[in-house]
Amino acid sequence: MSILVDRDTKLLVQGMGRVGQLHTGLSLEFGTSVVAGVTPGKGGGEFKGVPIFDTVRDAVAETGANASAVFVPPPGAADAILEAADAGIELVVAITEGIPVVDMLRVCAALRGSSTRLVGPNCPGILSPAEKVRIGIAPYPIFRPGSVGVVSRSGTLTYEAVHQLSVLGIGQSTCIGIGGDPIPGTTFIDTLREFERDPATRAVILIGEIGGSAEEEAGEFVASEMSKPVVAFIAGRTAPPGKRMGHAGAIISGGKGTAEEKIAALEKAGVPVADSPATIGETLRQAAPDAR
């Protein structure tokens, strides 16, 4: 089992450019059922046996795709997300980095109350080792099937945590990158709620960073709603205020969104926070000795 994806996930890839093709190939290699690609004007073609369509609506009608990975460059990305939602795709994962915030405000408002879940943007996507589903760009060789859920605002830091777990012999149920942008489609809380319900997940690693208050809100949720152990790491203790640290959402503004505040809030909620990025896996093992 896993969250958001499973063996019935039929993936379509929006934006079959160089990067979209590379990751389509890697997802196929991993065993994911990639059923369609969409690039307007390239309909009728194919890539490694995957048919390409002009529109998401055509792709869904022909292939029954129920999930989408968006690789469309920033100027067209918000439109691509809305196209997928309008065609009835249940899960849209936006990998694209650099979508204007105002576009995401509109997209998130439009999706509220719809049956489409958006993950991202500016994220590595979703990977479930046991279900063989890889949506996005995560390096699948470092993952192994197991019982730890990982949710993170950062891509490579997710890989770091997964690598540490795998080296300790602990596998992962599902890893979700919610992305480094200020307006994400899916929040920590949305994901934690799913992990709490998922029988395959025994414990969760939450990886946050400076900016916003999503980690504080997640802490409150863990304290009041979760029975499974959750551990965390927060990046950016040494980040100067007022500077954007790579991710659009990673900024301490007006003295708010510091790592210290987040760590204090999580610890108060009973979530152990790893001091060092090198001990994320170890922190999980101590909090959840039965995790495999």
Partner 1 sequence: MNVHEYQAKGLLREYGVEVPPGKLALTPEDAAAAAGEIGGTVVVKAQVHAGGRGKGGGIKLVRSPDEAGEVARSMLGMQLVTPQTGPKGKTVRRLYIEADTAIERELYLALLIDRATQKVALLASTEGGMEIEEVAAQTPEKILQVQVDPLLGLCDYQVRELGFALELEPKQVGSLVKLLRGLYRLFLEKDCSLAEINPLVVAGDTVTPLDCKLSFDDNALYRHPEIRDLRDPDEEDPRERQASQYDLSWVSLDGNIGCMVNGAGLAMATMDIIKLEGGEPANFLDVGGTADAERVSHAFRLILADSNVKGILVNIFGGIVLCNLVAEGIIHATQSAGVKVPIVVRLDGTNAPRGREMLQSSGLGITPAVGMQDAARQIVTAVQA
163 binds partner 1 (CB under 8 A): yes
Among 202, 247, 262, 285, the one annotated catalytic: 247
72 lines the binding site for partner 1 (CB under 8 A): no
Site for partner 1 contains 74 (CB under 8 A): yes
Q: How far is the CB of 190 from partner 1 (least distance, A)?
A: 12
Residue 184 beta carbon to partner 1: minimum distance, rounded to whole angstroms: 9
Q: Is 284 in the site for partner 1 (CB under 8 A)?
A: no
Tell me whether residue 23 is one of the annotated catalytic residues.
Answer: no
What value, to the nearest 5°, has the Cα angle with vertex 285 and ends 280 and 288?
A: 120
Per the CB < 8 A criterion, the answer to whether 161 and 35 are in contact is no
**207 counts as binding partner 1 under rule CB under 8 A:** yes
75 binds partner 1 (CB under 8 A): yes
CA torsion sign for 9, 32, 125, 52 is: negative
Q: Which of the residues 216 through 245 are near partner 1 (CB under 8 A)? A: 217, 233, 235-240, 243-245
Per CB under 8 A, the segment of 6-14, 30-38, 64-72, 180-188 that binds partner 1 is: 180-188
Counting contacts by CB under 8 A, is residue 193 touching partner 1?
A: no
Among 40, 88, 100, 272, binds partner 1 (CB under 8 A): 100
Region binding partner 1 by CB under 8 A among candidate stretches 4-12, 34-42, 126-134, 249-257:
249-257
- Asked if residues 135 and 107 have their Cβ atoms less than 8 Å apart, the reply is no
Can residue 38 be called a binding residue for partner 1 (CB under 8 A)? no
Residue 224: which residues within 8 A CB-CB, separation 6 or more? none
43 vs 277, which CB is nearer to partner 1? 277
**Alpha helices by DSSP H, the chain:** 18-30, 56-63, 74-86, 101-111, 155-167, 188-197, 214-225, 259-268, 280-287
Q: Does 139 bind partner 1 (CB under 8 A)?
A: yes
Residue 25 interacting with partner 1 (CB under 8 A): no
* 102 makes contact with partner 1 (CB under 8 A): yes
* Nearest partner of 30 among 51, 5, 52, judged by Cα: 5
**What is the dihedral angle through the alpha carbons of 158, 264, 210, 196, rounded to the nearest 10 degrees?**
40
Nearest CA-CA partner of 27 in 41, 46, 10: 10
- H or E element at residue 151: strand 145-152
- Does 70 bind partner 1 (CB under 8 A)? Our answer is no
User: Does the protein bind partner 1 through residue 17 (CB under 8 A)?
Assistant: no
Partners of 93 in the β-ladder: 69, 119
Does 241 sit behind a cis peptide bond, omega within 30 degrees of 0 on the bond before it?
no
Assigned token pair, 145? 């099937």
Task: Give the interface with partner 1 as residue ranges (CB under 8 A).
Answer: 22, 26, 74-75, 98-102, 105-106, 108-110, 137-139, 141-142, 152-160, 163, 180, 182-183, 207, 209-214, 217, 233, 235-240, 243-250, 254-255, 259, 275-279
Active site residues: 247
